[in-house]
Amino acid sequence: MKYETTIKPVSEGISLAANLIKNGQVVAFPTETVYGLGADATNEDAVSQIFKIKGRPQDNPLIVHICDIGDVNLLCEDISDMALRLMRAFFPGAFTAVLKASPLIPKSVRANLDTVAIRIPANAHTLQIIKESGTFVAAPSANISGRPSPTNAQDVFTDLGGKIPLILDGGECEFGVESTVCDLTKDAPVILRPGAVTREMIAKICPHVRIAKGVLKHTSGVVLSPGMKYTHYSPNADVFVVKADAESVLAKKINMLYDSFTNQGKKPIIFCTEGEPYAKKNVRVLGKDAEQVAKSVFSALRRADENGFDTVLFEDLDEKGMGLAVMNRILRSAGFKVL
Ligand code: TXA
Ligand code: MG
């Protein structure tokens, strides 16, 4: 289906979006993490449209967004005390709980798994859209599958313009990376995808929290979360994560790599937290800490493509706090290429 896509300020478009969702349509809206592409999770046809519009593999399940924690009892089964404690602590917010699905969740939403991912967003506009839609909203990130997630309305339009009727514009997202996906079906929580609700925050409630194997490493074979096995967040440019044994030599190494790529006729750009060591080179300072880097990294990857850079050298970040989410995303966009 072809659409003339309207972009509207989110504060003026809540009822319109909610009505479109009610009527089985697919719309894009901001959340505090990234922009979402939402449809009625109980409507099989609307859900299949999401997969089609994004070009998403059928075996990659969607997150069901709700606005009332009480509904978890309707949508999920076998909820442990631990799961309840974590949901009470982190709902609403950048936290997605994977739980055993009740039969109410259509199989297409959960890609035939017997679990379902549930999130209550904290963004007041997103909550209002869900509430007014009167249903549960399945919503992946509002990008073409494989591309960096969109953190502003223009980046949604670039990917999905002409494919959906409405994009609500809420400016830049607060966090810039997607929610923490956490498997709560086991004895201890397992982080399948790190996000703004950090391992350290979860550990305060459940000290035995684990991080799934595929979060920072390439894994083959069975993965706990289908999303882990696909190429993700990839711009056209070739991305490399640059690491060094000692922090003092990291900038030197990046400078040497930059010169070597330039000599090969490439057009590199350095993504870093401080521009000073890279004077006279093409540099994008993503921010001074992991939170700021998270907020700008996806749009910076898109801008690198638009400005004709073919090589991105990403300065390694410490994997603590939000740094874990950033490294998870950038390693995937690099196809795990580390120099
Ligand atoms: O912040 C977010 O989570 C955003 C906003 C829009 O809410 N949504 C989002 O959705 O990032 P998506 O579809 O781009 O990523 C959902 C991830 C995928 O990696 C998927 O494989 C995983 O969650 N997932 C969904 N259901 C699952 C399940 N039952 N078991 C394991 N992983 C699941
Ligand atoms: Mg996504």
Q: What is the pLDDT along the chain (339 residues), one digit of tens a residue?
A: 789 999 999 999 999 999 999 999 999 999 999 999 999 999 999 999 999 999 999 999 999 999 999 999 999 999 999 999 999 999 999 999 999 999 999 999 999 999 999 999 999 999 999 999 999 999 999 999 999 999 999 999 999 999 999 999 999 999 999 999 999 999 999 999 999 999 999 999 999 999 999 899 887 766 667 766 666 788 899 999 999 998 889 999 999 999 999 999 999 999 999 999 999 999 999 999 999 999 999 999 999 999 999 999 999 999 999 999 999 999 999 999 999
Q: What is the DSSP track for 173-233?
A: -SS-SPPEEEE-SSSS-EEEE--SS-HHHHHTT-TT-EE-GGGTS---S--SSGGGGS--S
Nearest atom in ligand 1 to the alpha carbon of residue 224 is 31
Look at residue 204 in the predicted model and tell me its pLDDT: 98
Distance CA 262, CA 267 (A): 6
Q: Is the torsion defined by CA of 97, 100, 106, 108 positive or negative? A: positive
Cα(58) to ligand 1 centroid in Å equals 13
Task: Give the closest residue (by CA) to ligand 1 atom 29.
Answer: 116
Look at residue 161 in the predicted model and tell me its pLDDT: 98
Look at residue 232 in the predicted model and tell me its pLDDT: 78
Nearest ligand by distance to the CA of 98:
1
Q: What are phi and psi of 192, to 5 degrees?
A: -90, -30
Asked whether 238 and 312 are in contact (CB, 8 A), the reply is: yes
Nearest ligand by distance to the CA of 144:
2
Query: Which residues are bridge partners to 1 per DSSP?
Result: none
Q: Which stretch of DSSP H or E encloses residue 238?
A: strand 238-242
Task: Give the closest residue (by CA) to ligand 1 atom 33.
Answer: 225
Residue 96 vs residues 32, 64, 87, 263: alpha-carbon distances, Å: 13, 9, 9, 45
Look at residue 248 in the predicted model and tell me its pLDDT: 83
Look at residue 227 in the predicted model and tell me its pLDDT: 67
CA atoms within 13 A on the CB side of 279: 1
Look at residue 247 in the predicted model and tell me its pLDDT: 80
The label of the residue with tokens 């505090």 reads 32
Residue 46 vs residues 23, 25, 108, 157, 235: alpha-carbon distances, Å: 9, 6, 10, 20, 28
Cα(181) to ligand 1 centroid in Å equals 7
Look at residue 274 in the predicted model and tell me its pLDDT: 94
Look at residue 229 in the predicted model and tell me its pLDDT: 64
Choose the residue to mutate in 31, 54, 76, 141 for probing ligand 1, maximizing ligand atoms within 8 Å of C-beta.
Answer: 141
Q: Report the SS3 class of residue 128.
A: helix
Question: Hey, what's the torsion of the CAs at 266, 267, 273, 276, to 10 degrees?
Answer: 100
- The set of residues, in sequence order, having a beta carbon less than 8 Å from that of 184 and lying 6+ positions away, is 79, 80, 82, 83, 86, 87, 97, 98, 99
The label of the residue with tokens 């670039």 reads 158
Look at residue 230 in the predicted model and tell me its pLDDT: 63
Q: Which residues line ligand 1 (CB under 6 A)?
A: 31, 33-34, 36, 60-63, 96, 98, 110, 113, 115-117, 119, 139-141, 178-179, 181, 192-193, 225-227
0.85 exceeded by pTM: yes
Look at residue 149 in the predicted model and tell me its pLDDT: 97
Nearest ligand by distance to the CA of 39:
1
Cα(215) to ligand 1 centroid in Å equals 14
Residue type, 333: S
